[in-house]
Amino acid sequence: MPVYNDLKLDTKYLINEFDGDQVLLVEPIMKSDLCILILIHEDVESFVWKKLNDDIFDIIEELTEEKSDEYDSLFEDEYEIEP
């Protein structure tokens, strides 16, 4: 079974954390010796620490750089500040 330590930093993944769970878009952004900080992209982005050896039910897909950029571009206008 995959674990959080299998995820590469600054890469977006589609995962099922648990069997029958909803698909999550996650992005590991920092690792310590024993844990990893995960950015969860949902309606409201959240940060959560996971143990490196915590199980992930399924890593469905590692998003390519192109798909990651495409996802980011969906929200670019939302954060732009008008002069």
User: Rounded to an integer, what distance in angstroms lies between the CA atom of residue 15 and that of residue 35?
Assistant: 18
Q: Is 37 exposed, middle or buried (0-12, 13-18, 19+ CB in 10 A)?
A: middle
Q: What is the pTM of this model?
A: 0.86
21-49 per-position pLDDT tens digit? 999 999 999 999 999 999 999 888 999 99
| Mean pLDDT score across all residues of the chain | 91
Domain segments of the chain as ranges: 4-79
- The DSSP H or E segment spanning 49 is strand 46-51
User: Rounded to an integer, what distance in angstroms lies between the CA atom of residue 83 and that of residue 73?
Assistant: 20
